[in-house]
Structure 1
């Protein structure tokens, strides 16, 4: 069967525009659920109990988003991007309904995990669908637009979450997903379909499962570092077993590797791994930790407003990077992004200590700007270097790393915060973030200077 994943879809521009709108709505749904809950965590924890489980309301969503990204990309290449995107939307909508009716914190966490499965597929396949609809010359601007969707969702999410929680209750946050998800499904049926590729993409289910087991055990080890020896032993054994199984399967069928081997064989792409992990950890840990810090030390400013400033920065950063990337190149844009992320983290540590709302606002704005620059430049570099028949898998690899970084950042810094407790815990966490972003500057030197396509 001749596929349409390998080149931009030959469809009327109006139908392409419908496809773009479908992608925007679908991605907005997945993105907004990664931020909308952050500002209402104290309310949810108070109503459902188990306050020590608060990190998992976020991590239970972000963890499967990271885990299913390679699987979703492979399924999109093998079974068709449009068909898989519709399937993931249905999973997401069902999970949203379960989250809305959850009566306990563990039930909510399980529903959030299922939401993350659907959202992980939506995120990867949305980027893949848009990349398939447009040629390489327009991808920078289009992917910059999608980064802007993330920023917009981060603006709307915290504000809408706070508003809904105080008026209709936090459960309405999840009910809101239903009509928007149905709209996205309708648009996908109208938009030009991107079917499966020419048959070279293969799906290795055992390898995908081994990757999921290994990463899941790794993240659990980061969030439960002081667990019993038996649990640590089980998680460590699961990590080692998953990695060994993955290595054996990849060695046997390298063309079916969940994370494309060619991605890691390109010298210019290796820095992307570190940069994507660090930048996503910086943003998501910041927007998760700040509302909790303000709940302990009120500074006379809304947490939702501060997170909105980070989102505004993301929108602006993504737009600027998307417009200037071809002229200024990957290295300059990414280095600028990491500098802004570092400045945001260090400034926030000082702002929390001094209880200065304006400094907090500036710090969050810098954090958002840095994420907009870094996320757009790294994704476009990876997509422009991807073989056409593996576009979904390469896009999925970047999304996998981004969501893995978010989950690791939240889990590790939540563990640090819970371990230290006290008033100094949050400034220390932000200092760690700032120093980590400065270290990431070294890796920007390894990126190509100019905007290149393969």
Structure 2
């Protein structure tokens, strides 16, 4: 419920600045990691620079969504972005890798509020007809950040200092914060509600255990090791206790009746699978282009950036399609593109080259833009103001969890396939590290036949990943065939 005096264009610009700040964080930090490791040391911990941010973002997204439904979007957005900026400032001052990881936890704790609350505020400010188009604008922010992030990161690292990777967030965040504080006004029903602290604590424990398993298992820990099995047990027990607690709480953090809504089940299931597809391409397509095709990192980045170009284009088009043909047909069209794009990756080989890979990636981006916009707008259209925050956050959460599951599943498939290939060839399994093929100096030190065998093995392993991505794309398409034909609500209830 937004007051009439809200200046929507200025608020939207402020929200896009905040969204850009959060979206660019992943790609820009990835560019700076080599310099950060060289400066701080702690190479064995570097993966936690990303994982700590993802973990806190995942476990807080739902909590922030519920708080936004209780206290309003504005105060929760202010709290989230303030915590994020404090974390960003501290990251630039980190004296060791351990401290950097801790400060990334702080950043992630704030970031959990930004994307779902930004999307929810847009849902509040605009009518359905406008909302679909504006969600396309927000999607374009993600596309721009994906393409510009590596370039900006490279320039900062080369000409300034890696600390500015984090400190550049501060002016952007302050501008976004001021815009929302000054120009966004909302009317909140101040009826007394209790905060579900118990449910939030159980949810935090369950999801933290699950995410740590996905991060550590198969790399630092064996899948059947004591830490992994213990964390899986903690996840199961905490989840069962959480579900029991939510059924009995008068104001649950996650209203379980949302899962009785067919739209929510279909949209969130498809979002979960789409998160796996995005993670799979982001992780393994550049490696394939560099190590198997022998192309430069710039060309490898191009093949992935086409997805970031297709996504906002399709998201903008989805705004018009939803009004003309409805949510269901637009979502199915998105699922068709996801299936087509993943099918093309089944045909990818070194001879087809990076242009073929780029076209396939672009089609995946088209599918994501159509499907994701349909999901968000239809979910926001199907619930009232008091549920919009938690419903939007739940959809965002499913994408994060899908990415985490995808990382574990697809990474395990890649490693297992490559190791089996090396064993069958009686080759040294220590060569399974793909850095050998990505590093020009190390590659030149190997015999030609060894390089050929490694490229063949890696090609087979990544093709197995692409096969699984095709199966996931097919499953997404089939699920979307059951997308309900819902009616468009013109106003909030």
Fold-level match, TM-score > 0.5?
yes
Task: Give the one of 365, 368, 375 matched to 2:365.
Answer: 368
* Alpha-carbon distance, 1:258 to partner: 2.3
CA distance in 2, matches of 1:401, 1:260: 15
Aligned counterpart, 1:251: 247
Cα 1:233–1:256 shift into 2, 3 Å:
same
SS of 1:447's equivalent in the other structure is coil
Task: Give the one of 301, 313, 319 matched to 1:304.
Answer: 301
Cα-to-partner distance string for 1:188-231 (whole Å, 9 max, x where unaligned): 22112335434265420110121121122122223315256321
Counting only pairs closer than 5 Å after superposition, residues 323-402 of structure 1 correspond to structure 2 as 323-348=320-345, 350-351=347-348, 353-354=350-351, 356-402=353-399
Aligned counterpart, 2:13: 21
CA distance in 2, matches of 1:249, 1:447: 30
Which structure 2 segments of 5+ residues have no match? 419-431, 433-456
Cα-to-partner distance string for 1:334-393 (whole Å, 9 max, x where unaligned): 222223233334434654644711122112212221211111101111111112221111
* Alpha-carbon distance, 1:103 to partner: 4.8
Aligned counterpart, 1:452: 488
CA distance in 1, matches of 2:352, 2:99: 36
| Bigger radius of gyration | 2
Which moved further from structure 2: 237-246 or 65-74?
A: 237-246
1:281 aligns with 2:276: yes
Aligned counterpart, 2:109: 117
SS of 1:33's equivalent in the other structure is helix
CA distance in 1, matches of 2:332, 2:398: 18
Cα 1:55–1:277 shift into 2, 3 Å:
farther
Counting only pairs closer than 5 Å after superposition, residues 105-184 of structure 1 correspond to structure 2 as 105-184=97-176
Q: CA RMSD in A?
A: 2.6
Which structure 1 segments of 5+ residues have no match? 1-6
CA distance in 1, matches of 2:411, 2:166: 24
* Alpha-carbon distance, 1:63 to partner: 2.7
* Alpha-carbon distance, 1:67 to partner: 1.6
Aligned counterpart, 1:100: 92
Aligned length: 445
1:239 aligns with 2:235: yes
CA distance in 2, matches of 1:354, 1:105: 41
Q: Does the 8 Å CA contact 1:77/1:197 hold for their aligned counterparts?
A: no
Higher relative contact order (CA 8 A, sep 6+): 1
Cα-to-partner distance string for 1:293-338 (whole Å, 9 max, x where unaligned): 4554441351433333221111111111112112122222222222
SS of 1:132's equivalent in the other structure is helix
SS of 1:11's equivalent in the other structure is coil
* Alpha-carbon distance, 1:287 to partner: 2.0
* Alpha-carbon distance, 1:250 to partner: 0.9
Aligned counterpart, 2:258: 263
Q: Does the 8 Å CA contact 1:158/1:308 hold for their aligned counterparts?
A: no
Normalised to the residue count of structure 1, the TM-score between the two structures is 0.89
Which moved further from structure 2: 422-431 or 370-379?
A: 422-431
Which moved further from structure 2: 97-106 or 317-326?
A: 97-106
Counting only pairs closer than 5 Å after superposition, residues 425-440 of structure 1 correspond to structure 2 as 425-440=461-476
Q: Does the 8 Å CA contact 2:289/2:354 hold for their aligned counterparts?
A: no
Cα 1:307–1:102 shift into 2, 3 Å:
farther
SS of 2:458's equivalent in the other structure is coil
Normalised to the residue count of structure 2, the TM-score between the two structures is 0.82
